[in-house]
A and B are shown apart, each in its own frame.
Chain A
Amino acid sequence: MSNDIIGAAKPRIDGPDKLSGRARYAADHYPANLTYAYGVFSNIAAGKITDIDVSKAKQQPGVIEIFHHGNFPKLHRSPSNFAQQNKVDEPRLPFEDNNVYYGGQFVAMVVADTFENARNAAYFVDVSYQESEPVTSLTQALKKGAPKQAKSSRHVRGDADSAFSSAPHQVDAIYTTPVETHNPMEMHATTAYWNDGDLTFYEASQGVVFAKNTIAAVFGINPARVDARAPYIGSGFGSKLWIWPNAVAATAASRELGRPVQLVVPRAQMFTTTGHRPATHQNIKLGADANGKLQAIVHDSVNSTSFVGHYVETCGSVTKSLYDCDNVRVTHATAQVNQGTPTSMRAPGAAPGLFALESAIDELAEKIGMDPLALRKANYTETDGSKGLPFSSIHLMECYERGAKAFGWDKRNPEVGSMKNGNEILGWGVAACNWEALKRDCNARVALRADGRAFVSCATQDIGTGTYTIVAQTAADVLGLPLDKIEVELGDSAYPSGPLSGGSWASASALPAIHAAAKKAADQLKGYAVEEGAVFADADPEKITLADGKLSMDGGDSVAFVDVLQQRKVAEAFGEAYTSGATGDEYSFRSFGAHFVEIAWDPGISRLRVNRVVSAIDCGQIINSKTASNQVEGAIAMGIGMALFEQTEYDHRSGMPVNNNYAEYLVPTHADYPEDVNVLLLDYPDYKFNDLGLRGIGEIGITGMAAAVANAVYHATGKRVRDLPIRIEDLMSA
């Protein structure tokens, strides 16, 4: 890179706006004549609506309209096609019919003049049901019949069953993970208004292009007439990748009423109608020889899905390629339960999948009597066995070694329960982390303007991860401008089409396009400077450099770029660029890493805490070491939550969620976050992946984390907990 801006630890450029409240989220927009919608949600998990009595509700103050299946406009389902960018995980529309498929489903919606009036009237909507027996858990669904196999994500190489049977060392275990709910701070929300057939809507969305196309498909209108906006998102963790019933309900109500409508999903229904990570049930079989070399890996998993969506949690997605092994079988299947539809949640597949695989590897090490890190090293590979392709750039061995050194792994006493500290027993665990490097098509526009600023626009989003900042850094690198002279415009589908903020691919997709567009803008500016009569007339533009807002000729004469534009009498010099999401077929692209975790177990008071974490991550070029570390630190916190706390709990009789709020759905607090967390970013650019060498960092940090904690818990307590979350009652002596 040409200067010190790429990789620098820059604070977020949108930080002051967020801290001061100037940043406006989806429900912070108040178009004239705004109305407020509030949902009525099913309080049964399965059945039919037999009657909706709105007579009392209609008499409440401020009520404008009450929608339900009897009067909601007839719309269309989105085709839910990823390539066409109109995917949804719950294709059923709200109020489509009188069926109830899950608790907390929209069954009616009040629109009123104020939020308070809408909420008040919602309590007076009287819904009668004919209840049927709900399927309330994955376990119950599996008792009812065989799950449905998901063939497209199946992977088989060699003969895993035979190799497992003949292996001298075997692990055969079932691991389960519960329903986990994303719980972003910002509720899902929509503020929508129509103007002469054109729709504008602010949506809590990780993908404005998808939101635009999906809503256009639902209404059967040209996407060009729809503008989806999400300039700020209070995080999403995957729950805001695709639109959910709230967006359809609000936009349709706005069209029907001819007035703007705002709808915020209440926290309780954030657990039901905006997605969740499904429950998983995973069987891992590992076979190894006396030296720990893997002979067979089997990973058969099933996840819960709803009756109105078919979501596959690809738990074996990493299992296919993490270790060197000739005999591998990975399968996925689903079973339907009466819960809302699952969706991607940070590192879908890999997060629950690596809990199982990396726990099983630890169990295998125990059986063989090997150090668990040594076992992983013994099965290290630089080839993706599922594709037969080399990894484009892999430094996993260095992650193991640097992480182990920083953690002090060589001081680990392998004997269970042997490492003590006062009343506490310490446990040390390790696990690999891994995530596919992905990228998508992207367009971007960069302009140098006559007021001295640069404008960068792209219809991707900053979901709280620092995208605004790293986009500015990328443009600054090319344009030679300080960050405060760069205006970044994201989160509007009217901008050049950009990627979803998901799959850890937004940075790897958008920054190369922005970099290329900035180069084109700079080239146009240089072209103006060498035109006849211009400041560097007839000079070779290649010899002009751009720094500190000035064009300089071979280190000699210089001129402010603003003067060049003014002399040319144009508003701006600009460039537009497109970069392809195609990755070719020569390499497998993945990111790698390892977590080292120390836990403390106080058996006298049954207290379990995570003391210390070292995570070494190999994910290509680092653009901003501050926001990148922050992504891994946040993922470590979320991984601790997955290991010890997170679980959406349902009443096993009614199927209704019972801990649907921030008090009872436990996530780590600041007090649970270890004081000693050390994130090591290896920072090896992967130029085979894209011109900037970056691979993305949003998800890898949560993968493997729960296994590292569980392995540390085993080391301290001798209790192998295979069902998340690990609870103190699992560890208390009988």
Chain B
Amino acid sequence: MRDFSYMQADSVGAAVASHAKGNDSAYISGGTTLLDLAKLEVMRPGHVVDVRKTGYDQVEQLDDGRLRIGTNVTNTDLAYHPIVKEQYTVLSDALLSGASTSIRNKATTGGNVMQRARCAYFRDTSAPCNKREPGSGCSAIGGHARSVFAVLGTSEHCVVAHPSDMCVAMAAIGGVVNVEGPNGKRDIDFLDFHLLPGDTPHLEHALEADEMITHVTLNAPVKGAKSHYLKLRDRASYQFALASSAIIVATDGDTVRDARIAMGGVGTKPWRAAAAEKSLIGKAATEDNFAKAADIAFADARPTDDNAFKIPLGKQAIVRGLQTVTA
């Protein structure tokens, strides 16, 4: 790990100002991504701005029913928050399926949104990686690319899946990422926050220079809906999703009134399956219709050499998730 200067900010304004002093600054909160990658020399910040003491550690339901989550709220606190447990089951489930208790106790909401890829080649500074060193090539393509690699949204420059569970639930719920920077505050639609790799896999998010996340504000719960997060993986705990589904469905009798479907482990960003959702509206909640929706969700899937099984697995995650919330 390289030496860096360190500043503990007591306000977002101070944090942004300190971050703006250099061009190799990084924000830190829980540190579960930054410290890990700094020790590996994958991230080499020259200046680290600690935002933990800036506040922003509350979960509040707004008057319009939306849920505003401070950037410093830990994954553990968010998962067990009474409103989240009752009204955003899918989010609580997703958080508790991620990482381990000790990591969740440290990791924060803003940090989780900014979580970086788990690709072995990204983490190995001696391997080519377009995300780490733009233009150096993608070692995963034609290399070893099973567990943490995507089938949706990949490019010839990068095929790694977005690692977060929390973000998959948030993509299903919908909302905005509230950010603050040198030019003031703005909101970014959650679905627009993470970027597809395209030919710039090193650009991962829609933040402008020196902006920091202050909150994630989630849409109000869908009335009368049930939700569920289903994470499929080789072992029962402490593994990134091979495929996961975040499902929110409201029904009128046996008919689907509203459906939200997002997928994890299979997309290069938290993957909202809008066309699959649309196919279900007004349809009967049957296995057949669920299977058709799942096929739509993966219509454009392109596997690596090692992960073709993720296409049927991802479809299974959707079908079982839909069955669970409509049972």
Which of A's residues lie within 8 Å of B, judged by CB?
43, 116, 119-120, 123, 604-607, 609, 644-645, 649-654, 656, 658-659, 663-664, 666, 668-672, 727-729, 732
Q: Across the interface, do A732 and B313 meet the contact criterion of CB distance under 8 Å?
A: yes
Q: Across the interface, do B118 and A609 meet the contact criterion of CB distance under 8 Å?
A: no
At the interface, yes or no: B237 with Cβ under 8 Å from chain A?
A: yes
Q: Across the interface, do B1 and A658 meet the contact criterion of CB distance under 8 Å?
A: no
B98-141: which residues lie under 8 A (CB-CB) from chain A? 118, 120-121, 124, 126-127, 139
Q: Which of B121, B143, B144, B235 touches A666 (beta carbons < 8 Å)?
A: B235
- Docked pose: A16 CA to B221 CA in angstroms: 50
Contacts of A658 in B (CB 8 A): 120-121, 124, 143-144
Interface size class of B (residues with CB under 8 A): 20 to 34
B271 CB to closest chain A CB, in angstroms? 18
Q: Across the interface, do B41 and A672 meet the contact criterion of CB distance under 8 Å?
A: no
A488 CB to closest chain B CB, in angstroms? 33
B238-277: which residues lie under 8 A (CB-CB) from chain A? 238-239, 242
Q: Across the interface, do B143 and A651 meet the contact criterion of CB distance under 8 Å?
A: yes
Chain A CB within 10 Å — which of B235, B313, B320 has the most? B235
Interface string of B209-241 (1 = CB under 8 A from A): 000000000000000000000101011111100
Q: From B100, which residue of chain A is reached at the shortest CB distance?
A: A669
- Docked pose: A727 CA to B239 CA in angstroms: 14
- Docked pose: A20 CA to B235 CA in angstroms: 31
Contacts of B160 in A (CB 8 A): none
At the interface, yes or no: B75 with Cβ under 8 Å from chain A?
A: no
Q: From B44, which residue of chain A is reached at the shortest CB distance?
A: A123
B237 CB to closest chain A CB, in angstroms? 4
- Docked pose: A123 CA to B42 CA in angstroms: 12
Known contacts A604-B319, A732-B313: A645-B232 contact under CB 8 Å: no
Contacts of A666 in B (CB 8 A): 234-235, 239
Q: Across the interface, do A732 and B142 meet the contact criterion of CB distance under 8 Å?
A: no
Known contacts A664-B120, A666-B239, A729-B309: A652-B320 contact under CB 8 Å: no
Some 13 contacts from A to B, beta carbons below 8 A apart, are A43-B124, A120-B2, A604-B319, A605-B232, A605-B313, A606-B309, A607-B232, A645-B234, A654-B127, A659-B120, A668-B235, A729-B308, A729-B309
Contacts of B235 in A (CB 8 A): 644-645, 666, 668-669, 671-672
Contacts of A671 in B (CB 8 A): 235-237
Q: Which of A607, A649, A670, A727 touches B237 (beta carbons < 8 Å)?
A: A670
At the interface, yes or no: B312 with Cβ under 8 Å from chain A?
A: yes
At the interface, yes or no: B154 with Cβ under 8 Å from chain A?
A: no
Q: Across the interface, do A605 and B316 meet the contact criterion of CB distance under 8 Å?
A: yes
Contacts of A669 in B (CB 8 A): 235-238
Known contacts A604-B319, A664-B147: A656-B236 contact under CB 8 Å: no
Q: Across the interface, do B234 and A663 meet the contact criterion of CB distance under 8 Å?
A: no
Contacts of A604 in B (CB 8 A): 316, 319-320
Apart from A606-B309, A609-B236, A669-B237, 4 more pairs, CB < 8 Å: A606-B316, A650-B144, A658-B124, A672-B237
Contacts of A645 in B (CB 8 A): 234-235
B242 CB to closest chain A CB, in angstroms? 8
A47 CB to closest chain B CB, in angstroms? 13
At the interface, yes or no: B317 with Cβ under 8 Å from chain A?
A: yes
- Docked pose: A728 CA to B317 CA in angstroms: 14
Contacts of A732 in B (CB 8 A): 309, 312-313
Contacts of B139 in A (CB 8 A): 651
